[in-house]
Amino acid sequence: MISHFLKLEWKQFFRSSHWQKGIALKIIMGFFVLYFMVAFLAIGVGGYYILKKTLPALDPLQLVNSYLLYVVLGELVLRYLMQTLPVMNIKPLLILPIKRSMLVHYVLGKSAISLFNIISLFFYIPFAVVLIIEGYDTGGALGWLLAVVLMTQSVNFLNFLINKSTIALGSIVFLLLATIGLQKFGVFDITVFGGQVFDAVYASPVYSLIGFVILGVLYNLNYKQLKSLVYLDEAVSQKVEEATSIDLSFANRLGDVAPFIKNDIRLIWRNKRTKTVFLMSFLFLFYGLIFFTQEAYRDMPAMLMFASLFITGGFTLNYGQFIPAWDSAHYKMLMSQSFKYRKFLESKWILMVVMTSILYVLSFPYLYFGSRIFLMITAGAIFNIGFNSLFLLYAGSFNRKKIDLNKSGFGNTQGTSATQFLIIVPLMLLPMLLFWVFNKFVGYNSGFIVVASVGIISLLLKKQAMNFIEKKYIKDKYVMINAFGKEA
């Protein structure tokens, strides 16, 4: 039976959309995964020595131990947001002669080897190895390793128990903030308590076996809960949300494009992935803080330009690059309706321009970093509005991947193809290069002027550009219909 399941998993993995993608994307995704693995490995191997060097008075193991409880809380929040039990997978198996208990074990067992649980091992295992090499007690280090692995697994199953209630999330976030606060003001230091727990495990590895008990209890609770819910109207059901209609008649003033604008607003608000894109674009506003506060970037104006583009461009970049794939599910229908393609494209353009403008207004507090930074953001905004919006519309005509709007937003790469990587060149690198060249060889202000001018010139040429883009979309109509009709 298990071998059947494994075969299914194998096929699901290799036939999933991740593998159907172009070779360029595969390579880049491969690098991405590799990067994280190497990064964690590096921290695992080097972490001990770094801690030893920066804080020679403290024992690295005890230091790590003292923060493990924070890791648990942080992980719970992260998992709450990103990890759900893959229960829908068993729907087709429900009517086959397989015991319900078997299916539940399968779903739960599968979750134990999810990426969330694996990735931390890349830190814990090398760290434990280094401990042994550095002369720590082998039994103690292995006991500690066992304890943290069991801890990760316990967190995994605890997450599924509390996953359904927002109250749980609230209390965890509250607990996290409260402990940080209490520690800050010296009332109660959770790191001392947490440290003691894991230090004790190191001192006498037998204690790590307690982890098995906790894990066992949590697994059992999950098992009992899930087993009673494996019915089509319970766990294995698609959630139906109640439709909420808001009055969008204000958009009617936009004339011909109004129906599309209204549609796009609903598209963004009613689908997980687009909603994530929308909300994330506000997070991008803070992107500049990383760069503007660091001394190291002061002397790298091109990097500051990069940040400036992101501050106002979060929406344009993330939404624009998947035009028209957002509408891929009903693209056929749109293509059989009588409207000028121009209106469809125009509505997307208006949306990007309006959002960039809003983000620009919200970026005013960056004046705090001085007028130069703000000029840079302004130039970036003009570039985003003028050049990037039009360019993304054009680049969109190369999109050939369907997007299933019902799938979640985080880490969803559906719809991604080589196009998404190639467009980065003119979108980001071009303004950076222009800025750098003029800044270096002509003078500081010329950098802004050139980047902003490219934006303004593009804006002036909008009509011509739109004609060109529209022709391209009409020419590629059949290819797009065909591509969007295929399962993602």
Partner 1 sequence: MITIDTISKKYGKTEVLNVASIEIPTGQSFGLVGNNGAGKTTLFNVILDLIRPTTGSVISNNIVVSESEAWKNFTGSFIDESFLIGYLTAEEYFQFVGDLRGMNALEVTTFIGEFEDFFNDEIIGKKKYLRDLSKGNQKKAGIVAALMGNPEVVILDEPFANLDPTTQIRLKQVIKKLTDTSNITVLISSHDLTHVTEVCERIVVLDKGIVVKDLVTSAATLKELELYFSV
Residues that bind partner 1 (CB under 8 A): 238, 240-245, 258-259, 262-263, 266-267, 270-271, 329-333, 335-339, 405-406, 478, 481-482, 485
C-beta closer to partner 1: residue 339 or 468: 339
How far apart are the C-alpha atoms of 191 and 195, rounded to whole Å? 6
Residue 85 CB, shortest distance to partner 1, in Å, is: 22
Distances (CA, A) of 477 to 68, 130, 482: 55, 58, 9
How far apart are the C-alpha atoms of 191 and 51, rounded to whole Å? 16
How far apart are the C-alpha atoms of 71 and 149, rounded to whole Å? 13
Residue 256 CB, shortest distance to partner 1, in Å, is: 9
Residue 413 CB, shortest distance to partner 1, in Å, is: 21
| Of 366, 364, 381, nearest in space to 292 by CA | 366
Q: Which residue shows structure tokens 């609230």?
A: 170
C-beta closer to partner 1: residue 260 or 448: 260
Residue 478 CB, shortest distance to partner 1, in Å, is: 5
Residue 281 CB, shortest distance to partner 1, in Å, is: 19
Residue 280 CB, shortest distance to partner 1, in Å, is: 19
C-beta closer to partner 1: residue 338 or 371: 338
How far apart are the C-alpha atoms of 305 and 300, rounded to whole Å? 9
Q: Are 198 and 68 in contact (CB under 8 A)?
A: yes
How far apart are the C-alpha atoms of 251 and 209, rounded to whole Å? 63
How far apart are the C-alpha atoms of 377 and 487, rounded to whole Å? 40
One-letter identity of residue 369: F
Q: Are 316 and 357 in contact (CB under 8 A)?
A: no
C-beta closer to partner 1: residue 206 or 479: 479
C-beta closer to partner 1: residue 246 or 296: 246
Q: Around Cβ 378, how many Cβ atoms within 10 Å?
A: 19
> Please, is 291 exposed, middle or buried when counting C-beta atoms within 10 Å of its C-beta (0-12, 13-18, 19+)?
buried
| Of 424, 465, 282, 242, nearest in space to 363 by CA | 282
C-beta closer to partner 1: residue 7 or 332: 332
The two three-digit tokens of residue 121, written as one number: 């091992």
How far apart are the C-alpha atoms of 155 and 35, rounded to whole Å? 25
C-beta closer to partner 1: residue 46 or 259: 259
Residue 107 CB, shortest distance to partner 1, in Å, is: 25
C-beta closer to partner 1: residue 263 or 276: 263
- Tell me 242's DSSP state: P
State the virtual CA torsion across 446, 449, 450, 451 in degrees, nearest 10: 120
- Tell me 241's DSSP state: P
C-beta closer to partner 1: residue 1 or 333: 333
| Of 424, 431, 430, nearest in space to 380 by CA | 431
Residue 274 CB, shortest distance to partner 1, in Å, is: 9
C-beta closer to partner 1: residue 227 or 262: 262
The two three-digit tokens of residue 31, written as one number: 């690098």
Residue 259 CB, shortest distance to partner 1, in Å, is: 4
Residue 265 CB, shortest distance to partner 1, in Å, is: 11
